[in-house]
Structure 1
Amino acid sequence: MIVPRLRIQNANAISSPMTWGFPSMTAFLGLMWKLERLLAGDIAVVFNGIGVVCHAFEPQVSRGGFTKSFCLTRNPVGKDGGSASIVEEGRVHLEVTLVFGVVGDILMASTTEREAAAAHIAGLLARMRVAGGTVLPGVSPRSPQLIALEEDEEKQAAQIHAVRRMLLPGSCLVERNDLLERRHQQLQATTPATSRLDAWLDLARTNWRSVVAQDENGTETVTWQHDRTDGWVVPIPLGYAGLADLEAPGTVLNARDTTTPFRFVESIYGIGQWVGAHRLKNMHQMLWYSSADDAAGMYRCCNDFTQYL
């Protein structure tokens, strides 16, 4: 299921306590589950993953100096009519294409029925919040599509090629924790006490080093080289880890939901990479899905990009 070129205003740019920029994938997985619930009475469909292709990214920040600051507002006014204190809210304007992995009988329907279902899903999305942002009205150059992939490999390859062209120009976010493990091993080779947090911080920045070279005449030259050789790599939140035991529904004071078990959690982090949509070998590489382990207290967003390299 492809919903192309959604323009989103004021999405949440603070993706975790330690990162900002593109919204967290937890927000898009939440959108997928909410949409599935809304469709329960209309269309027999189950979403098993979501991919996001970003076409435009405009953070609402001031550009004075090296350090950027969010553009903040004071609202609403206080009880006395005066200005309220500022609550930090990072915002970003986006243009994205959403790709849903779909399971259900609707895939066996006729082309006309699939087109009607896709239009209905896109209509629901237009009335929803996406990562806290508002979907702006506008006519996309392409209509939403619900595509049933062919079983024949050659026909399926042609379908995927056509889908990749629909997603251009744009980049999709995938998980690359293999790069984090590799950087951790590299740093441990020289500093055995290096932790994964140290490797994560090292990989999240651009590290410049001076390299001295000597020519055949004995003349030394110094050049500066950086270690950003793995593409567009970014630190991202990957979900939540439990800080305490799972509590029974309604036993925690002031919980937002009294019918769901409650647990205090903190964010967990990993490494992501922005990959050009034309580099995808199949749709599984871009889809994110959830993994929950109550016993271990781990609630994680997963992506299988590296399994198809």
Structure 2
Amino acid sequence: MSQTHLPHLGVLLLPHIRVQNANAISSPLTWGFPAITAFTGLMTALERRLGPQAGINLLGVGVVCHGFEAQVTTEGYTRAFHLTRNPVLQDGSTAAIVEEGRVHLDISLVFEVRLAEALLDDAARETLAEHMVQTLAGMRLAGGSVMPPLASSKRRPSRPLLALVPDDPEEQREQFRRLARRLMPGFALIARDDLLAQRLAELRVQHPQASTLDAWLDLTRWTSRAVARSTTDTEGAPDSHTAWVTDPRPGWIVPIPVGFTALSPLLAAGSVAGARDMATPFRFVETVWSIGQWISPHRLQCVNEMIWQSGHDHDPTQPSEHGLYRCFIDPQATAATPN
């Protein structure tokens, strides 16, 4: 069902989803929380599984993490993934071990949606929200398994929410404040492309040849530097020493993959051997990275500040087409995000 047939804007909350053994290797350069493309992919798969008869379109998804348990062994500063031993080969030799990173998650998903006229009724929306929870329970999320709530959990199972977005701006803010309370304690992952552009401008003041990669690397590391300090001892005599000081960071920022960019032109369907789908045009791509920030939901002003959407610039008729497929948050929504 097309969005033009669904005129009513709504918000959907699927709270405290337990995911076991999700993929913790989010890109060739990052590990930890799954890539945001895993959640936009889940959104597309969920809408397709519901079908047009459900009367709902999923436009974007926000992710809030309540619990993160990486399956790693820690020894000092070194961490190693827990790996499984594959069965031996037919000749009895040891099979190669493919490194896989896994993580257990407790997350909440917030969707921006559009609803059909039939879902203006409160009871109909409640029924659909429960149905979506049951549908999600049979799906995979970032390669992990969606698990039922723990029987030993002291927390009462949270119910999903599917609500209409009011027209009045003040009522919208009040609705989000109530939603943010349900998302706490937890941290929402938002886009901070602005920090990347800001750091690049700062680096180019002293190093005009600095690139976006230099700014990205500078933002994603902890930088400590030796600073000379002058103090006085107990007798009042001057005393000079050196102290190691860590540069401040603008919030809890992290490097994240946000999509893909083309390495080849769009190839005809079936022209590349070994492709998963021989009926869909194919192109080779590589990962695109940016900067994200984990922030408590109560510090956000509206739901749009945490909603990720997916888009692309593919237009074969345009010579400037770069084949960029990436996830983003509305820049107007993130402009007022606090550091």
Q: TM-score range by the shorter chain?
A: over 0.9
Identify the match of residue 70 of structure 2 among 59, 76, 81. 59
Residues 12, 23 of structure 1: 8 Å contact kept: yes
Identify the match of residue 334 of structure 2 among 299, 306, 309. 306
Which secondary structure does the structure 2 equivalent of 1:151 belong to? coil
Residues 55, 119 of structure 2: 8 Å contact kept: no
Instruction: Give the distance between the partners of 1:36 and 1:106, measured in 2 at CA.
Output: 18
Q: How high is the TM-score relative to the length of structure 2?
A: 0.87
Q: How high is the TM-score relative to the length of structure 1?
A: 0.95
Q: 1:160 to 1:253 in 2, by over 3 A?
A: same
Corresponding pairs, count = 309
Which residue in 1 is equivalent to 2:125? 114
Which residue in 2 is equivalent to 1:92? 103
Residue 115 of structure 1 deviates from its aligned partner by 0.3
My pick for the range that moved more, 150-159 or 118-127, is: 150-159
Residue 215 of structure 1 deviates from its aligned partner by 5.7
Residues 19, 144 of structure 2: 8 Å contact kept: yes
Tell me the amino acid that sits aligned with residue 24 of structure 2. A
Tell me the amino acid that sits aligned with residue 307 of structure 2. L
Task: Give the CA RMSD over aligned residues.
Answer: 1.8
Unaligned runs of 5+ in 1: none
Tell me the amino acid that sits aligned with residue 29 of structure 1. T
My pick for the range that moved more, 20-29 or 75-84, is: 75-84
Instruction: Give the distance between the partners of 1:306 and 1:209, measured in 2 at CA.
Output: 32
Instruction: Give the distance between the partners of 1:209 and 1:163, measured in 2 at CA.
Output: 42
Identity of aligned residues (%): 47
Residue 278 of structure 1 deviates from its aligned partner by 1.1
Which residue in 2 is equivalent to 1:230? 250
Identify the match of residue 30 of structure 1 among 32, 36, 41. 41
Matched, 1:262 2:270: no
Which residue in 2 is equivalent to 1:169? 185
Within a 5 Å distance, the mapping from 1:48-197 to structure 2 comes to 48-80=59-91, 83-105=94-116, 108-138=119-149, 141-197=157-213
Instruction: Give the distance between the partners of 1:151 and 1:267, measured in 2 at CA.
Output: 39
Residues 45, 106 of structure 1: 8 Å contact kept: no
Matched, 1:44 2:55: yes
Q: Deviations over 1:148-200 (max 9, x none)?
A: 12112232222111100000000011111111112122222222222211111
Unaligned runs of 5+ in 2: 1-11, 151-155, 315-320
Which structure has the larger Rg? Answer: 2
Residue 64 of structure 1 deviates from its aligned partner by 1.9
Residue 219 of structure 1 deviates from its aligned partner by 4.2
